[in-house]
Amino acid sequence: MDGKEWSTWSEGAAFGLENGMAVIPYALLKHYRKLGLSGSEAMLLIHLLSFRQVEGIEFPSLEELQTVTGRSISVIAGELQKLMKEGFISIDGDNDELRDIHYERYNFTGLYGKLGTYLAVLRQESAGDQTSRSGGTPDLRAAAHHSGAAAPAGGYGTSAPPVQAREAEQGRSLFSIFEKEFGRPLSPMECETISGWVDQDRYPEELILLALKESVFAGKLHFRYIDRILLEWARNRVKNAQDVKTYSQKFRSGGR
């Protein structure tokens, strides 16, 4: 390498270092597959950590994540949903009373807890305190049990089992439909709301879409209104399209 090439290389290296450096847990890079993460999901976690450490952005938008990953917003939203559902990340909300601003940030406690538990099992096995059924690989099911998380079913590979795959596909479908109706990408908080309807409240996809339709017809297209519709239906045991039709007719006739 001659003097000119060395100068060019050093200038480029200096420019790169000036843009900041992120500290990424090596255990995540080395063991993400054993935690049931795909390469793209692990990279998404790395980007979230990097946004916080280098740019001071604790809650990057889906558009910002799309810029750095080069992937579609619906795919990113689906992966965020999975990471939240499986306890790798969560979202904390807080208020800045001085500026009267509500803001959110990603919480990585779940990720660190899973990594810590996995490494503890790895250390025990290396010391001969535990024997794995797979002949040397830490028993991730035991680690998940101790950390309060569910281990991936059907092995430790990166491909999701059929049930999880169907749930992920359902989530992406709902995200896409909501984005089309709202005419814009959904925020991470809105994605989490949809995930909560599916995973926690156990609303059928059909019912969620009917509530969305009701909000469009009412001219009140916002998540709080849709949530109120779903809650009202749940209280009145409305579970499918036929129940919605019957309930609506009864409501309009004043026979509640």
Tokens 């309930």, located at residue: 247
Query: Residue 256 falls within a domain, yes or no?
Result: no
What pLDDT was estimated at residue 145? 44
Query: Residue 7 falls within a domain, yes or no?
Result: no
Query: Residue 45 falls within a domain, yes or no?
Result: yes
The count of other CB atoms within 10 Å of the CB of residue 115 is: 22
Spatial separation of the C-alpha atoms in residues 244 and 209, rounded to whole Å: 12
What pLDDT was estimated at residue 104? 85
Give the residue, 252 or 114, on which the prediction is more confident.
114
Confidence of residue 185 (pLDDT cuts 50, 70, 90): confident
Spatial separation of the C-alpha atoms in residues 137 and 121, rounded to whole Å: 9
What pLDDT was estimated at residue 12? 53
- How many domains, the chain? 2
| Percent over 70 (pLDDT), the chain | 70
Query: Residue 61 falls within a domain, yes or no?
Result: yes
Query: Residue 35 falls within a domain, yes or no?
Result: yes
**pLDDT of 198 over the 80 cut:** yes
Confidence of residue 133 (pLDDT cuts 50, 70, 90): low
Of 111, 144, 168, the last residue of a domain is 111
Spatial separation of the C-alpha atoms in residues 135 and 181, rounded to whole Å: 52
**pLDDT of 99 over the 70 cut:** no
Which residues span the domain enclosing 211?
A: 187-248
**pLDDT of 27 over the 70 cut:** yes
Spatial separation of the C-alpha atoms in residues 233 and 197, rounded to whole Å: 13
Q: Taking residues 198-210, what's their average pLDDT?
A: 90
Beta-ladder partners of 95: 102
**Token pair belonging to 125:** 């096995």
Query: Residue 86 falls within a domain, yes or no?
Result: yes
Beta-ladder partners of 92: 105
Torsion angles phi and psi, residue 222, rounded to 5: -150, 155
Contacts of 200 (CB under 8 A, 6+ apart): none
What pLDDT was estimated at residue 223? 93
Spatial separation of the C-alpha atoms in residues 190 and 188, rounded to whole Å: 5
| Percent over 90 (pLDDT), the chain | 32
Of 111, 126, 147, the last residue of a domain is 111
Give the residue, 219 or 163, on which the prediction is more confident.
219
Residue 231 sits in a domain whose CATH number is 1.10.10.630
Of 81, 111, 141, the last residue of a domain is 111
Confidence of residue 173 (pLDDT cuts 50, 70, 90): confident
Give the residue, 246 or 165, on which the prediction is more confident.
246
Model confidence over 37-76: pLDDT tens digits? 999 999 999 999 999 999 899 999 888 999 999 988 888 9
**Token pair belonging to 129:** 């305190």
User: Which of 88-102, 179-193, 222-236 tops mean pLDDT?
Assistant: 222-236
Asked whether the beta carbons of 100 and 93 are under 8 A apart, the reply is: no
Lowest-confidence pick of 96-105, 145-154, 202-211, 239-248: 145-154
What pLDDT was estimated at residue 108? 93
Q: Taking residues 6-11, what's their average pLDDT?
A: 59
Torsion angles phi and psi, residue 255, rounded to 5: -100, 35
Spatial separation of the C-alpha atoms in residues 256 and 116, rounded to whole Å: 54
Give the residue, 211 or 3, on which the prediction is more confident.
211
Query: Residue 171 falls within a domain, yes or no?
Result: no
Asked whether the beta carbons of 193 and 223 are under 8 A apart, the reply is: yes
**pLDDT of 81 over the 80 cut:** yes
Query: Residue 174 falls within a domain, yes or no?
Result: no
User: Residue 90: in which H helix or E strand, if any?
Assistant: strand 90-96
**pLDDT of 207 over the 60 cut:** yes
